[in-house]
């Protein structure tokens, strides 16, 4: 069967530890949804799964057609941009608090049972 080799990360074992530890997943907790690179595209993707946001996007696109234009283009975009911005800030703050909690949990001292 399979077995796992555990090598202490001390002194002359350090090189061997680094070589073997790359083969295994770490046991860090990560409950965050976003990273700095994927926050904007992933957040917009999630927000446009809401029917209300799609409706406002439809109105913005429809208002860009000269024959159907009812209001100024910028005024039609304000409600959509406002709602998207507020929700993005809220999601970002929630994710940051999850990140801080994950960091706190991952840095806790643990006790290991040893005979």
Q: What are the tens digits of pLDDT across the range 33-81? A: 999 999 999 999 999 999 999 998 998 888 888 887 777 778 888 889 9
What angle, 0 to 180 degrees and rounded to 10, lies between the N-to-C axes of helices 39-47 and 73-106? 120
pTM flag (> 0.85) = no
What's phi and psi for 94, nearest 5 deg? -65, -45
Angle, alpha carbons 97-100-105 (nearest 5°): 125
- Domain positions in the chain are 29-106
Residue 27's Cβ-side half-sphere holds a number of Cα atoms within 13 Å equal to: 4
What's phi and psi for 38, nearest 5 deg? -105, 10
């Amino acid at each position: 069967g399979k077995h796992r080799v555990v090598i202490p990360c001390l002194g002359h074992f350090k090189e061997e530890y680094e070589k073997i530890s790359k083969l295994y997943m770490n046991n860090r907790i990560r409950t965050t949804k976003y990273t700095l690179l994927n926050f904007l595209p992933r957040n917009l993707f999630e927000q446009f799964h809401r029917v209300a946001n799609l409706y406002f996007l439809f109105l913005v696109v429809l208002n860009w057609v000269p024959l159907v234009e009812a209001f100024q283009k910028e005024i039609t975009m304000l409600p959509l941009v406002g709602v998207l911005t507020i929700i993005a800030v809220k999601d970002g703050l929630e994710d940051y608090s999850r990140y801080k909690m994950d960091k706190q949990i991952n840095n806790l001292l643990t006790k290991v049972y040893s005979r």
